[in-house]
Chains A and B, each alone.
Chain A
Amino acid sequence: MFMHVFGYRLKCLARDRETVFWTAVFPLILATMFHFAFGQLMKGNEAFSPVKTAVIDNDAYRRDSFFRQTLEMLSAPGENQMIELTVTDEQEARRLLEGGIVAGIITVGDAIGLTVSRSGIDQSILRAILDEYAHTSATVAGILAKNPAAAAGLLSRLGQRRSYTQQVSFSDAAPNTALNYFYALVAMTCLYGGFWGLRNTTDVQADLSPQGARRSAAPTRKLQVVVCDSAAALVVSLGEVLVLLAYLALALRVDFGNQLGYVLLTCVAGCVVGVSFGAFIGTMVRKSEGVKTAILTASSMAMSFLAGLMVVNMKDMIARKAPVLAYINPAALITDAFYSLYIFDSHRRFFLNIGLLFLISALMCILSVLRLRREKYASL
């Protein structure tokens, strides 16, 4: 009997094209859009292109060997190349600037000058380089004026950089807030499993659908039918989430860490909470199916929004300003479970999230079953 009801329920749900679109295809479309919108953020740092710069080849420039060496060092090809230098006469330099080929013109005279035609990141970089050069050369000149004997040691240290802060990471993974968009998207898809839970409750209650009436008149225990239907909904919802997960991880290269078992556990917990949530709305709200669907859609989107689906800092803001909300919002728990797997070596926070998800699911299931157990209806 279980396999009979379960098998046909699986067919019913999997062939429900409209719901499959919203619960499976729509998240894939969103994922693709996110990829194009946040793709660069995802890579952690944008590829840096050396700033194209012209320097006027005049006598002062040729005489200032220290500055010349500095520019050659900054324009030397390699990982640390900051600028791409063109040494030319003033007329050609102006032509390059006006043509937008170079970001700025460096002129060496009594002081070092920078000519730009507009402001931007490249221009700011050039200005920062020249400011630092001016500051360093003034400092060196000052020290040498007071203590000429320090020249040898000073010059050897000029090329060295020393950092006075230490960066400590929780794991080997680099923190990447853009991942939160994709984790929240998976959370939203899990909650969309609620549409299957909602449909199940409609199809099992005699006062909500003729199919429910026919099934209620049959010699089969309602609880048995509910269990079979829920299992089928869970399988369909989990299948959809796994397809999304595979698309994110394999096609869009979203990093879920390397703990596949725990990632799958999060998906299972997310789908359980999603299906339970739909069943909860379906049994507790005594309104039309349209109203229930609207409530389910709005609440899923609201929970996903609070988990950072649209504003990446939202999850952190909720965690700071209304921490209780973060603990009762299933979408936030799913998102945080993924993120804690990605960022932390310890699983304490992960299991807290998973435990809370199962607890919320259990509460919603118990309340739904208590409501569904009523075998007779006041009106049909």
Chain B
Amino acid sequence: MLVRVENLVKRYGNLLALDHFSLEVAEGEILGLLGPNGSGKTTTINCILSLLKYDKGVVEVFGKPMTPDAYDSKRNIGIVMQNVAVFQELRVDENIDYFCGMYVNDPKTRRRLVDEAIEFVGLGEFRKFTPRKLSGGLLRRLNIACGIAHKPRLLILDEPTVAVDPQSRNKILEGIRELNRQGTTVIYTSHYMEEVDHLCTRIVIMDKGRTLATGTKEELKSMINDGETISVELYMLQPDDVSQIRQLPHVARADYAENRLSVHYDGGQHNLLNLLDYLKSRDLLFGRVFSEQPTLNDVFLEITGRQLRD
């Protein structure tokens, strides 16, 4: 295991931020740490980096206990903070060179790494800009470049896409996938479920400092008793018809509101066909039809009973 966290307990006064939290990260995976704001994601990251004191537990990175002076381990870790951590007075290339220089001594190697990092995040035309002249998305990319330039074995990204436009977000996510393909193990925290859904090979859902569920996204989705949801636009559906639809095979729930019928299934096959056959048999005219698979949000709702972005 590249990272092992066992029974971690962290208190802020009376607030229990981490409640015997455990985590294992294998080499080569992209682990998503998913949870609402205040669930303990950033606290976990700061404990792994040995920036925060914790009350109890074990943190090991690369098989060694993680301490503030574990410089050999730190040399192979890249960190992208939730808040942009760059110096406003230094240009893009200077910022990357500065932070890279804390890991890599050789100036020649460093120059190459800085160029590669700039290329990687697509900041080539902005390399002589100071951060205050960059947009929010470009600033986030610079923040990432400062964390990855030294080519770490383990990259920790703490909500790197907060307040980033969709275009920059896609660029960032694609970059992380590329790093992983090159062999970097990634721990990625977010409260954007769709990001984690698309990016991560394994997901830990946490809340109130505890692990609620762990697994691949397929495993997590299979944990909940939930299948697809089919939505149909139609007018003037009678209550009797809604009752009849609820009797169809595998239908868990059916609701009709604002000219839209939503049918939730608990599994089964050919659900769409069965529903459309019923509507045709009743000569009901319908508009557009949507079919949605369960999402991580459904998983989270099922597990915690509340929204992910609370």
Which of B12, B97, B102 is close to A379, meaning CB atoms less than 8 Å apart? B12
Kindly name the residue among A214, A375, A379 whose own CB sees the greatest number of chain B CB atoms within 10 A: A214
Q: Is the C-beta of A220 less than 8 angstroms from some C-beta in chain B?
A: yes
- B125 interface hit (Cβ, 8 Å): no
**Do A215 and B89 contact each other (CB < 8 Å), given the known contacts A375-B68, A376-B50?**
no
Decide: B51 and A216 in contact? CB cutoff 8 A. yes
B residues near A (Cβ < 8 Å) are 12, 42, 46, 49-53, 68-69, 71-72, 74-75, 77, 79, 81-87, 89-90, 94, 97-99, 101-103, 105, 146-147
Interchain CA distance A262-B275 in the complex, whole Å: 95
Separation of A8 and B90 alpha carbons in the complex (Å): 8
What's the Cα separation between A8 and B50 when bound, in Å? 26
A376–B86 touching, CB < 8 Å: no
**Is A219 on the interface with B (CB-CB < 8 A)?**
yes
A29 at the interface (CB under 8 A from B): no
Contact flag A11-B90 (CB < 8 Å), given A218-B99, A218-B102, A218-B103: yes
Do residues A380 and B102 form an inter-chain contact, with CB atoms below 8 A? no
Which residue from chain B places its CB closest to the CB of A222 in the assembled complex?
B68
Which of B74, B94, B101 lies at the interface centre, i.e. has the most chain A CB atoms within 10 A of its CB? B101
CB distance from B157 to the nearest CB of A (A): 13
Counting contact residues on chain A (CB < 8 A from B), the size range is 20 to 34
In order of increasing CB-CB distance, the 6 nearest A-B pairs are A375-B68, A210-B85, A15-B89, A218-B102, A219-B74, A219-B71
Report whether B94 and A8 are in contact in the complex, using a CB–CB cutoff of 8 Å.
Answer: yes
CB distance from A253 to the nearest CB of B (A): 36
Interface string of A186-218 (1 = CB under 8 A from B): 000000000000000001001001110111111
Chain A residues closer than 8 Å to B79, beta-carbon distance: 213-214, 217
CA distance A99 to B299 in the complex (A): 100
* Docked complex Cα distance between A216 and B74 (Å): 10
List the A residue with the shortest CB-CB distance to B68.
Answer: A375
12 pairs of residues in contact across A and B, judged by CB atoms under 8 Å:
A1-B101, A8-B90, A210-B83, A211-B85, A211-B87, A214-B146, A217-B74, A217-B77, A219-B75, A375-B68, A376-B51, A379-B52
B147 partner residues in chain A, CB cutoff 8 A: 214
Q: Which residues of A contact B83 (CB under 8 A)?
A: 210
Chain B residues with CB under 8 A of A203: 87
**Across-interface contacts of A219 in B (CB, < 8 A):** 71-72, 74-75, 102-103
CB-based contact B103/A214 at 8 Å: no
Pick the contact of A377 from B53, B87, B102, B103 — CB < 8 Å? B53
Q: Is A378 among interface residues, defined by CB-CB distance under 8 A?
A: yes
CA distance A12 to B90 in the complex (A): 6
How far does the alpha carbon of A221 sit from the alpha carbon of B102 in the complex, in Å? 10
Q: A161: CB under 8 A from chain B?
A: no
Q: Determine if A214 and B99 form an interchain contact, defined as CB atoms under 8 angstroms apart.
A: yes
Considering the complex, which residues of chain A in the window 214-237 have a beta carbon less than 8 Å from any beta carbon of chain B?
214-221
A206 touches B90 (CB 8 A): no
Measured between alpha carbons, how far is A15 from B103 in the docked complex, in Å?
A: 24
Complex: A379 Cα to B74 Cα, angstroms: 20
**Is A16 located at the chain interface by the 8 A CB criterion?**
yes
A214–B81 contact, CB under 8 A?
yes
Chain B residue contacts of A328, Cβ below 8 A: none
14 further contact pairs, Cβ within 8 A, besides A217-B49, A378-B52: A4-B101, A8-B87, A13-B89, A211-B85, A211-B87, A214-B81, A216-B68, A217-B74, A217-B79, A219-B71, A219-B103, A375-B50, A376-B53, A379-B52
